[in-house]
Amino acid sequence: MGAFLCFVGLSHKTEEYQNHNLEEPLLNSSVSKGEVRSTYENASFFSLLTFSWINPLIAKGNKKTLDLEDVPQLASVDSVRGVYPVLLNKVESLSNEYTQITSFGLTKALLYIVWKDVVITGLLALASVLSSFVGPYLIDSLVQYLNGHQDYENQGFVLVALFFVSKTIGCLAQRHWWFKLQQAGIRARSAIVAMIYQKGLTFSGQLKQGNSSGEIINLMAVDAERIGDFGWYMHNFWLVLVQVAIGLALLYKNLGLAAVASLIATILVLLVNLPLGNLQEKLQDDLMKSKDKRMKSTSEILRNMRILKLQGWEMKFLSKIIKLRDEEEGALKKYMYTLSMTSFILWGAPTLVAGVTFTTCLLVGIPLESGKVLSTLATFKVLQEPIYNLPDTISVFFQTKVSLDRIATFLCVKDIDSSVVDKVPQGSSNIAVEIINGSFSWDLFASSNPTLKDINLRVNQGMRVAICGTVGSGKSSLLSCILGEVSKISGSVKVEGSKAYVAQSPWIQSGNIEDNILFGKKMDRKRYEKVLEACDLKKDLKILSFGDQTIIGERGVNLSGGQKQRVQIARALYQDADVYLFDDPFSAVDAHTGSHIFKECILQFLDKKTVIYITHQVEFLPAADLILVLKDGLITQAGKYNDILNSGGDFIDLVGAHKEALSAIDSIRTSVQEQKTSPKDPNKSQKDEANGMLGSKAQLVQEEEREKGRVGFSVYWKYITMAYSGGLAPFIILAQVLFQTLEIGSNYWMAWASSGSPNDPDPALVTGSTLIMVYSTLAVGCALCILVRSLLLATFAYKSATLLFHRMHLAIFRSPMSFFDSTPSGRILNRASTDQSLVDLEVPYQVGSFVFIVIQLLGIIAVMSQVVWQVILIFIPVAGICIWLQQYYLPSAREIARLVGVCKGPVIQNFAETISGSTTIRSFDQQTRFQNTNMKLNDEYSRPKFHVAATMEWLGLRLDMLSCFMFAAFLTFLVFIPKGTIDPNIAGVAATYGLTLSNLQGWIAWNLTNLENKIISVERIFQYSSILSEPPLVIESSRPDDRWPSHGEVDIRHLEVRYAPHMPLVLRGLTCTFNGGKKTGIVGRTGSGKSTLIQALFRLVEPMAGQILIDGINISTIGLHDLRSRLSIIPQDPTMFEGTIRSNMDPLEEYTDDKIWEALDKCHLGDEVRSKKWKLDSPVSENGENWSVGQRQLVCLGRVLLKKTKVLVLDEATASVDAATDGMIQQTLVKHFTDSTVIMIAHRIPSVLDSDMVLVLEQG
């Protein structure tokens, strides 16, 4: 045994992967300044054996609150950088072009990276199991010895020594077995996550519609975790067989042929479990599917919360989430009750098997002696745990199988075909981009109707190519072909040199502005300054309190649309690529900035480069060397500006719509100057417009708050009293106490009523039939208590999970917009998925089992001290030391566990961002850098996880040793006490219970820690259930009448707005009136406060001073819902939700189909929708990605036409459409909103030309 333990200690040293080519500088520099080296990697044998290598961390945790930098690095063998390449190679070797990776193949690959740990833990598990049977084997000898049968001298001391040694070996083996398995699980999880991430970087665009980002995040957050946790259960399957075999051998030794009855009874119990196991798997699968649906919806809603608030739809969408949750709850309820039945069968099993065995003995005539009876009962106790755990193991096995299937299915999704584009190094020829006879389709299955057909295009080095065309003509798709994002049906594409791409809707990473611009390149200060100059970003950076070090919130929430777009252009310029692709970046910025960027960036900065740009602005076309006009996926015209203009065709329509506008611009420019509302004050700092959350030195996105110190008792109390005001708790405890009493009673009865020893002259005290009758009655009582307890616990579990879910979601949906701007959605999703899952399935059982174990422990101590009261003298100091150890350990364990929660957010966040920006990342060829970031975050999450496992085993080992010592002391007392002072049979019962003491103490510690870790999820949900809420949706006492606003006059008086108390004013005492029924244009530089004014109108921000009156009613005095539902807005970013055209036009289901068709016809989408197979039920994918940006904008127009309110706001609504469509929208507005007040923020001068008034804003 000792030699074996030495082998375990040393094995960790030799466990290095033979993969040195991967250990490049990354690893050598992996411990940077301020970080703690791995204490595990260089620990001595003794330190590994006793887990002393974790001491420095536990000691530090007692002095201060631990932070991530206090947690030592992972050993190189545990780091994802070492493991992932091995897994990748293995998976690649198991799959090729013809065979996809299966879940079995994935399992094989995973085993390949952890096989050493699996073998070692298997041996340790075997040692632990063998030592657990030494006690039951010796108990008969102990009872005979106490009865006065001594076989050799000092037999008592030998027995005590044997008990003690076997217990010690068992404890050491078990601790290392569990730790090693967790270590292997962490390794497997991080490798799988890296694999899923890699797939997220390479899978093709059309398949995104089948896998929403919410579902893919679930693979990473839930399924990969599950695979990591399966380690715990890995060996249980074969261990059960070993344990049952040894158990039966022991029973045969004690009871002869009656052991056969035990075997049959055991097999029956296991068979009853099988159908339940299958049912559990099915229910688990349903539960996961409904959870996926809910998460998908939640992540989409969080992304678009601003629109929901503006439209007053948030409560409708909350009810949609609640509805999805109800489905999930149905599955959860069934799953819980199935679980209670399983646990009823299992807890009842040992007593049942014992009853069958003893009855058989009576029938066959095998004498029942108390020593043998106790040995049998002790054997059943040892067998109880593996048989208990079997259903758990089966259910976890199926859960893991489901997860492996889901991950394998995702890994089989088709990657983007890298051979679509033929990439040639720069300088091979003078052709930059060439497409010959190209036909392309986003949907491979609809290749009969390609997105683009018969494309022939040749772009020489240094050419400027402009692409124009109406909405939905295939302009963006053409750029995607050059990037290789669209499936090619026929033809060839050739691109020479590197590419840089600017997407139509800006993709910004959370992080600072400088990082967004450098995008992985080294800082070259001179070039950087030139880029800022060209993109007109210098002024904006001056406004932000941290300049280019300002942390941008998720998706760039604290930058205006124009600023995001310019940061994105700066990123492309800084890259110094050969071919530049711009997807209409000028639409999101104002006219002045647009022409500045065009001149500075495209004409000057990139004058030697090949540039292909899409634009709707006709004024940018003459500068192009080649103009392509697209219509319905075909290039209808190509050539220079004047040539195409003379040849007529579609181009004339596009330019015509713009012509009259251009002529009028000069005359307008002068009048704009005269109408300025406020004198210019150069000293007043401008304000970042969208959500200028940045003022006097405070970053918008703060570190995630984590509670510090111990989880307050109030959290436990609030949780327990959540369901039925805590009414179920006393009954659950009562059921457990009754069970414990009856169980001890039944064992006492068997020991007392059976005869003492083979040559005992006294006959048994009761007849055989009475013996069995009483025992059976007690056993049935036990089983009923268990059933009641399980059902009550399940009811409590699901009820409290439901209440917590509803409270948290209501609080989130009612919170002000500032909460969403400063909280990355990853954090909210983490609570809605991971924390809610724990509250659904784990927390209640953790609370329950902690209470049950404490009751069991108290029962055992009571039995032992009743036999030898002196045990109390030992128990008190041992309990004292246990409590002290636990208190010493908890501060560190608690904080490390919280760090696990905090470090998971960034992994999910980074992943969500990567998926949404995968096109940009691929176009810059930055996949490797992003995978490296993911690995770094992954390791940062594994570090606290690994050390949580180690601290737990550190405590477990010490508590185990204490209880071994206590048990040895108890046995020594028994051996020393003069014969005849105690009843040997009762002493035997106490010893039988004493055998389970160390397990129980270990379980209590483990459970308490686990409970502290898991209850943090409840704490985090409570935290989000008490977010400050917006003003009420409806104020009954001041509801406007149904016709309000009837006139639509908006009167703004001395309006002052700031985004947070510590930030400068964005609007400074603004006073103006928008006359009812008139059209007012609002113009001004990016960051002048245009969008802020609109947010104040909809009360997304509350004014600091001043007021806004609509038809004489102060909008601050009425409910938010009454206000927002009476105003309409077409937002800057057109938003569509997953669902159908009908649900997108009319989310509140207020209008008839005829009304919807009428609105669609008015917004020129009617024919497009009629041409679809499902008409109004035509599907809309996540974010509306299967509709072009222009079409999405027309849907937003359609919503407004349906709602037809007196006040309409357009926030740069025509930015992403071509001039012809813009004209169409303007005509529609003129026609259908003649008597409404229209307030229009515009970047394009032509858009505001026919306004009755123009408001020019500058610096608020």
What is the 3 state secondary structure string of 1039-1105?
Answer: CCCCCCCCCCCEEEEEEEECCCCCCCCCEEEEEEEECCCCEEEEECCCCCCHHHHHHHHCCCCCCCE
Structure confidence by residue, pLDDT tens digits, 1053-1090: 988 888 777 777 888 888 888 888 888 888 887 777 88
Q: What is the CATH number of the domain that holds 501?
A: 3.40.50.300
Ranges of H-type helices in 133-257: 134-146, 155-202, 205-208, 213-218, 224-229, 236-255
Ramachandran sector of residue 1139 (left: φ over 0; alpha: ψ -120 to 50; beta: rest): left
Residues 1178-1204 have a mean pLDDT of 84
Structure confidence by residue, pLDDT tens digits, 466-487: 998 887 888 888 888 888 888 8
User: For residue 678, what pLDDT band results from cuts at 50, 70 and 90?
Assistant: very low
User: For residue 1190, what pLDDT band results from cuts at 50, 70 and 90?
Assistant: confident
User: For residue 330, what pLDDT band results from cuts at 50, 70 and 90?
Assistant: very high
Residue 447 pLDDT greater than 90, yes or no:
no
Per the CB < 8 A criterion, the answer to whether 588 and 557 are in contact is no
Answer yes or no: is 1027 within a domain.
no
Task: Answer yes or no: do 494 and 516 share one domain.
Answer: yes
Nearest to 1258 by CA among 1138, 1072, 1018, 1085: 1085
Answer yes or no: is 211 within a domain.
yes
Answer yes or no: is 1022 within a domain.
no
CA distance 531 to 523: 12
SS3 511: strand
- Considering the chain, what percentage of its residues have pLDDT values greater than 90? 14
SS3 504: coil
Residue 47 pLDDT greater than 80, yes or no:
yes
pLDDT of residue 58: 93
Answer yes or no: is 621 within a domain.
yes
pLDDT of residue 17: 36
pLDDT of residue 763: 55
Structure confidence by residue, pLDDT tens digits, 285-296: 889 889 988 988
Answer yes or no: is 196 within a domain.
yes
SS3 855: helix
- Give, to the nearest 10 degrees, the angle between helix 134-146 and helix 370-412: 170
pLDDT of residue 120: 94
Residues 403-431 have a mean pLDDT of 84
Residue 677 pLDDT greater than 70, yes or no:
no
pLDDT of residue 344: 84
Q: What is the CATH number of the domain that holds 122?
A: 1.20.1560
User: For residue 169, what pLDDT band results from cuts at 50, 70 and 90?
Assistant: very high
Structure confidence by residue, pLDDT tens digits, 823-846: 878 888 888 888 888 888 889 988
pLDDT of residue 703: 60
Task: Answer yes or no: do 476 and 410 share one domain.
Answer: no
Task: Answer yes or no: do 630 and 613 share one domain.
Answer: yes
First to last CA, the chain: 79
Per the CB < 8 A criterion, the answer to whether 573 and 535 are in contact is yes
Give one DSSP letter per residue of 878-943, joined into a string: HHHHHHHHHHHHHHHHHHHHHHHHHHHHHHHHHHHHHHHTHHHHHHTT-HHHHHHHHHHHHHHHHH
Question: And the tokens for 1097?
Answer: 């109108």
Per the CB < 8 A criterion, the answer to whether 211 and 218 are in contact is no
Q: Name the E strands within 1131-1195.
A: 1139-1140, 1179-1180
- Give, to the nearest 10 degrees, the angle between helix 236-255 and helix 370-412: 160
Task: Answer yes or no: do 446 and 562 share one domain.
Answer: yes
Task: Answer yes or no: do 450 and 539 share one domain.
Answer: yes
Task: Answer yes or no: do 411 and 434 share one domain.
Answer: no
User: For residue 795, what pLDDT band results from cuts at 50, 70 and 90?
Assistant: very high
pLDDT of residue 644: 83
Residues 969-989 have a mean pLDDT of 81
pLDDT of residue 96: 67
Task: Answer yes or no: do 644 and 499 share one domain.
Answer: yes
User: For residue 415, what pLDDT band results from cuts at 50, 70 and 90?
Assistant: confident
Residue 19 pLDDT greater than 60, yes or no:
no
Sole residue written with tokens 């949780």 = 719
Domain boundaries, position 519 = 422-662
Residue 14 pLDDT greater than 60, yes or no:
no
Task: Answer yes or no: do 110 and 179 share one domain.
Answer: yes
Structure confidence by residue, pLDDT tens digits, 621-640: 888 889 988 888 888 888 88
For residue 1207, list its beta bridge partners: 1127, 1237
Q: In one letter, which amino acid is 530?
A: K
Task: Answer yes or no: do 447 and 468 share one domain.
Answer: yes
Answer yes or no: is 29 within a domain.
no
1207 membership: H or E segment, kind and range: strand 1207-1211
Residues 562-573 have a mean pLDDT of 88
Answer yes or no: is 696 within a domain.
no
Q: Which of the listed residues 976, 995, 1012 is the one where a domain comes to its end? A: 976
pLDDT of residue 136: 86
User: For residue 556, what pLDDT band results from cuts at 50, 70 and 90?
Assistant: low
Residue 419 pLDDT greater than 60, yes or no:
yes
pLDDT of residue 206: 53
Task: Answer yes or no: do 449 and 499 share one domain.
Answer: yes
Task: Answer yes or no: do 638 and 490 share one domain.
Answer: yes
Peptide bond into 391 cis (omega under 30): no
Average pLDDT, the chain: 82
Task: Answer yes or no: do 536 and 446 share one domain.
Answer: yes
Q: What angle do CA 95, 99, 103 make, to 5 degrees?
A: 70
Structure confidence by residue, pLDDT tens digits, 906-945: 888 888 888 888 888 888 888 899 999 999 999 999 999 9
User: For residue 701, what pLDDT band results from cuts at 50, 70 and 90?
Assistant: low
Nearest to 184 by CA among 119, 138, 117, 121: 117
Structure confidence by residue, pLDDT tens digits, 872-891: 888 888 888 888 888 898 88
Residue 692 pLDDT greater than 50, yes or no:
no
Domain count, the chain: 3
Contacts of 905 (CB under 8 A, 6+ apart): 704, 824, 826, 827, 830
Answer yes or no: is 191 within a domain.
yes
Comparing 808-812, 1085-1089, 1104-1108, which segment has the lowest mean pLDDT?
Answer: 1085-1089
Residue 1220 pLDDT greater than 90, yes or no:
no
- Whole-angstrom CA distances from 436 to 431, 454, 489, 613, 874 are 13, 8, 12, 20, 89
Q: Which of the listed residues 606, 631, 662 is the one where a domain comes to its end? A: 662
CA distance 302 to 916: 14
740 membership: H or E segment, kind and range: helix 728-753
Comparing 202-206, 209-213, 1177-1181, 1246-1250, which segment has the lowest mean pLDDT?
Answer: 209-213
Burial per residue of 19-28, b for 16 or more beta-carbon CB atoms within 10 angstroms, e otherwise? eeebbeeeee
Residues 604-620 have a mean pLDDT of 86
Residue 33 pLDDT greater than 60, yes or no:
no
CA distance 816 to 1024: 13
CA distance 915 to 158: 66
- Whole-angstrom CA distances from 580 to 326, 571, 624, 638 are 49, 12, 14, 20
CA distance 1099 to 154: 87
SS3 429: coil
Q: Which of the listed residues 662, 679, 710 is the one where a domain comes to its end? A: 662
